[in-house]
Amino acid sequence: MIQFDNAVERYGKIILNEMNKADIKCWLAGGALRDYFMGVPVKTDYDMFFPNEIEYEKARTYFKAKECEVKWESDNGCKVKYNGLTYDLVKKFFKDPQTTIEAFDFTVSMFAVDSEKIYHGETTFIDLAKRQLMINKITYPASSLSRSFRYYKKGFTMCIGEMKKLFEAIQNEPKEEQKPQENISKNEEEKDKSSGELGKFFRGID
């Protein structure tokens, strides 16, 4: 598809070609691509994924050598501003782009791109066109619930059946794994919003 080819070219020019030249294996996934295919301005950060910690550290070292602005670093990754754009380097590893998006909670965010192709979920484009919030996988229910509210602000809706799945998952979540809201610092909240798609690993692709 021409649109797919254009997207590969677009993200190649933005960062992926540069990463390839630096011999860094990585790909982009999540909200930035969702917004692109929605045809709306991309306001979210670019979430960058890696197959292992070696490639992550190569990218982290590369950006720092370019004197980028480091927004924050944590055990889950780091956020850098480089050439006017902000990248979340995610320290949660997957073997390839397809495996990455299969771990995402909502189908409408199941997008990834590397230097060769676009990856997407089976119903991603249908759900995106209908602005319907469909669950792909619930790993961290509280995180998915929080993100669903942000999707509502973007004009998405969730049917009763999907809501039921989400609330049942929340009810079944072990209480000791839930972190009291009053104990979350502002700095942690910022990381929570800005660190990607998988709950405790990276919650904020939008």
Is 178 a member of any domain?
Answer: yes
Q: Provide the pLDDT for residue 175.
A: 67
Residue 164 lies in a domain: yes
In a domain, 205, yes or no: no
User: Looking at residue 202, what is its pLDDT?
Assistant: 46
| 202 inside domain | no
Residue 203 lies in a domain: no
Tens digit of pLDDT per residue, the chain (206 long)? 678 889 999 999 999 999 999 999 999 999 999 999 999 988 889 999 999 999 999 999 999 999 899 999 999 999 999 999 999 999 999 999 999 999 999 999 999 999 999 999 999 999 999 999 999 999 889 999 999 999 999 999 999 999 999 999 999 887 654 444 444 344 444 444 444 444 455 444 55
In-domain check, residue 132:
yes
What residue numbers bound the domain in which 167 lies?
2-194
Q: Does this model's pTM top 0.85?
A: no
* pLDDT (0 to 100) of residue 176: 55
CA 109/CA 87 separation, integer angstroms:
17
Question: What is residue 189's predicted lDDT score, i.e. its pLDDT?
Answer: 43
Tally of CA atoms within 13 A in the half-sphere of 78 that contains its CB = 19
Q: For the sheet containing 85-90, what is the strand order? A: 69-74, 77-82, 85-90, 46-49, 27-29, 111-113, 118-120
94: CATH: 3.30.460.10
**99 located within any domain:** yes
Q: How many domains does the chain have?
A: 1
**Integer Cα distance of 167 and 145 in angstroms:** 8
